[in-house]
Chains A and B, each alone.
Chain A
């Protein structure tokens, strides 16, 4: 699985869009970009994934650069409940366990 790099922490004001970057410059053609988050003392929660195209669901949007070397997770209107550690993971399609990096600790400020 390709290595991913994320900033260790970010702050965002409540109600604003939170943009979380992820670098995955060695991603291979068959690897997807997945985003999960973990709220303190809970199990991780799936957010979104994509291969090449930008994706949007009820939780977030995922913007993947054309060369696929980086991506950005966008939470359009952050709330205090979005405070969590966000993990970006590159993984080929298949039933494999996940390798979690250190993620980005997103803190939403009131």
Chain B
């Protein structure tokens, strides 16, 4: 069964550095998402992406963040100038169509630690 993959599984970075988190969605999916989960807190929506542009973004997704689909398979989340509070688990998800009840398939996550 196809799965969403994410790399790296763990990343440690210094505050102020840029990080790029990578995701490979399920190949025939059209909609892509990033969520994050700060330790001990709930999973929070960051951004959704369709047709090479952002569909929706939360208030968390400020100018520090950007997403890109640089080629036909990868979907990346870039965090410029990381802050301590960016430390979290970042999940990528993809879904086939925009219809209601369309299942989102999640990747295993990237654990980001900002020192």
Asked whether A and B interact, the reply is no
Which A residues are closer than 8 A to B by beta carbons? none
User: B residues touching A (Cβ–Cβ < 8 Å)?
Assistant: none
